Each structure stands twice: as C-alpha cells, then as structure tokens.
Amino acid sequence: MKNQLQEKDGQVVEVNQLKEKIDSLVAEKARLEERFANERAQMQKRMQNETARLEGVLAAERAKVAATAATPAVEGAAPNESSVQAAVEAARRIWEEEKQQLTKARDEAAEREKAVVEKSKELAETNSQLEASVRKFQQRLTEQMRKQQQQQQSGATANVETRVAEVTAKHEAALQAAVAEATAKVRAELESQAGEKGGVKQEDVVALTVRHQEELAALEKRLVEKHAEDPLLHLRQSQEDQLKLLLKMSKPSSRSVLRSLFKSAFKFHERNLRQRRRKPSK
C-alpha cells in the first residue's frame, strides 16, 4: 500500500512538471510573437522613413539638375552636359545604394519573420505533443486508480465474508454446545423428577430437544443473513424463548434450576463473543 501511494505521488509530480513545462512553452511562444510583431512594426517604420528620406534626396537632386540646366539659358550660355550627367550619375548611385540597403533590410526582416514562424510552429507542435502525453498519462493514472479501488473493494469483500463465516461458525459451535449441555442437564433433572413424582415424560424432553435444535438452525440462518446485527441479541432472544418453553413444561420446583443454568450459559457465550470482538482481525 505504501509503495502504491509513493508511485501515485510520483505520478502526480510528473503531471505537475509536464504542466509547468507546457506553461513555460506557451509563455515563450507569446514572448516570441510579441517580439516579432514589435520588430516588424519597427522595420516597417524604418522603411517608410528611409523611403521618405530617399524621395526627399531625389527631389533635391532633381531640383539641382533642373537649376543647373536652367542657369546657362538665362545667362545666354550653353548648359554643361558633363556636369549634368555627373549629377545624374551621382544621384543614381545614391539611389542604388539606398535601394540595396533597403532590400537587404527587407530580406533580413523576412528571414527573422520566417525563423519566428518556424519557432512558433515548433512550439505549437511541442505543446500539442505535451498535452497529448499529459492526457494519456492522466488516463493511465485514472485507470490504475480504478483498478486499485476494484482490487481493494474485492479484497475487503472477501475479508468480510471470511470473517463473517468464521464468527458464524464459532458462534454456532459454542451455541450448540451450550444448548446441548443445558438440555442434557435439564433432561436429567426432569427424568429424575419424573421417575420420582411421575411428571414430565421422556418423549416430551426429546421433542423439546428437537425443537430447540430447529430453533437454533433458524437462529443461525438469521445471523448469516443479518451478520451486521449484534449476535448477543439473537443469543439472548433464543435462550429466553427456550427457557420459556422449558419453564412451561417443568414443575415449579425445577424452574429456579433452569433459570440458573440458562443464565450461566448466556454469560459464558456473551463473554466469549466479547473476547472475539476485542481481538484484532488478521
């Protein structure tokens, strides 16, 4: 029983550990999703700011090119084509560099997003596996507890039935012995009185003995059917009934002897039953 309790405690600890692990994985998944959302928002904001800055730079360069091209016409001189091409080339290079940086940042953000998504999927799969393991473990634990309860109930029922059979057998043997002893003494006394005064007949005593045995069998049957009741009550009632019958058939001079015999027999069996009750069951 102690080993079963220890095993059950270990199983409960294992379940608690699995639940704690699931909770930590869920919390980690939430943190990663929040971090990914923050990074994506920051990246979008940076890209918007950088795009606006590049558009401003491009607009400024276009304004410079337009101003450079318009100045010779106002002064009446031909525009410098090489300077215009150089300015355009410089603006193009700046735009290409910025474009490469933006593309690189976008690719890095996409890679991080992909990694976060993969990590989220992995955490979700791990969480599902752990939940399935916990469910299976709880089902197995419940099944084991149910089997243990069934075994304990079947064992307790068998012990109760065995104990009832033992007590009933002992009680029956003791009661039969006491009744036989009391009946023999009463019969001897009645026979002696009948021989002296012509009172009770031998056939009456035999019939009374047979009737007592039948009543004893009926009493023991009731004890088996109602083993939860106190055997002392049945014993007292049975002996009182037997005493009443004997008193009716006996002479007044022998009634005190009969009462004394039945009283002694009841005390003897009452003491034996109480001693058996005080003994611990094996």
CATH value at residue 190: 1.20.140
Is there a single domain that holds both residue 24 and residue 58? yes
Residue with tokens 């399935």: 132
Is there a single domain that holds both residue 36 and residue 62? yes
282 confidence band (pLDDT: 50, 70, 90): very low
- In this structure, what token pair is assigned to residue 231? 């055997």
Quote the number of domains for the chain.
2
Do the beta carbons of residue 11 and residue 133 sit within 8 Å? no
| Top-confidence residue, 6 or 130 | 130
Is there a single domain that holds both residue 10 and residue 142? yes
Is there a single domain that holds both residue 95 and residue 16? yes
The answer to whether residue 34 scores a pLDDT higher than 80 is: yes
d(Cα 56, Cα 231) in Å, to the nearest integer?
Answer: 109
- State the DSSP H helix or E strand holding residue 261, giving kind and residue range, or none if neither: helix 252-278
d(Cα 222, Cα 218) in Å, to the nearest integer?
Answer: 6
pTM for this entry: 0.31
Q: Residue 42 gets which letter from DSSP?
A: H
Comparing 74-83, 166-175, 241-250, the range with the smallest average pLDDT is 74-83
d(Cα 125, Cα 130) in Å, to the nearest integer?
Answer: 9
Q: What is the pLDDT of residue 23?
A: 82
Q: What is the pLDDT of residue 156?
A: 53
d(Cα 205, Cα 174) in Å, to the nearest integer?
Answer: 22
Is there a single domain that holds both residue 124 and residue 197? no
Do the beta carbons of residue 238 and residue 219 sit within 8 Å? yes
Is there a single domain that holds both residue 147 and residue 193? no
Most confident segment among 47-51, 69-73, 134-138, 271-275: 47-51
What range does the domain containing 259 cover? 163-278
Residue that terminates a domain, selected from 130, 155, 180:
155
